[in-house]
């Protein structure tokens, strides 16, 4: 089974889309899957900021999970 990682992605989007930005907590196999999961959850609402999202994922705090998780998913998101 592939290793999973826990991503804490700080994804700022400028006003008026967001006053403070957002935080995405995601379990994924890699950066690309993390991106895909956030985009799917976002539903295209912030599409103009997806280029920033890739950089934010690269800068994210990433932790290897000690136990295998078979489900990649957005665990929680907080966006304003």
For residue 1, pLDDT over 70 is answered with no
Rounded CA separation 56/46 (Å): 14
4-57 pLDDT, tens digit per residue, is: 999 999 876 666 656 666 789 999 999 999 999 999 988 877 787 788 899 999
Residue 54: both structure tokens together: 């890739």
9 within 8 A of 56, measured Cβ to Cβ: yes
Rounded CA separation 39/47 (Å): 8
């Amino acid at each position: 089974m592939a290793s999973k990682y826990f991503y804490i992605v700080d994804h700022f989007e400028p006003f008026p889309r967001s006053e403070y930005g957002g935080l995405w907590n995601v379990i994924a196999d890699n950066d690309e899957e993390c991106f895909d999961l956030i985009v799917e959850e976002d539903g295209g609402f912030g599409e103009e900021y997806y280029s920033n999202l890739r950089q934010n994922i690269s800068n994210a705090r990433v932790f290897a999970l000690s136990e295998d998780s078979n489900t990649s998913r957005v665990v929680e998101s907080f966006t304003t």
